[in-house]
């Protein structure tokens, strides 16, 4: 949260949002792979 607030003050909120989206997609992909492994 501190990094996001600092970036907003610096005028780069889009970069932070994009980074969050990338991290979320990576996390979702890991979760999906874990579920598939558990099913198998």
pLDDT level of residue 21 (50, 70, 90 thresholds): confident
pTM of the model: 0.44
pLDDT given for residue 36 in this prediction:
77
Note the residue count of the chain: 40
Residue 12 above 80 pLDDT? no
pLDDT given for residue 11 in this prediction:
62
Query: What pLDDT, in 10s, does the model give residues 25-37?
Result: 998 988 888 877 7
CB atoms within 10 A of CB 19: 13
């Amino acid at each position: 949260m501190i990094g996001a607030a600092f970036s907003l003050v610096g005028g780069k909120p889009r970069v932070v949002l994009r980074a969050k989206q990338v991290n979320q997609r990576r996390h979702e992909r890991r979760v999906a792979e874990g579920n598939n492994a558990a099913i198998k």
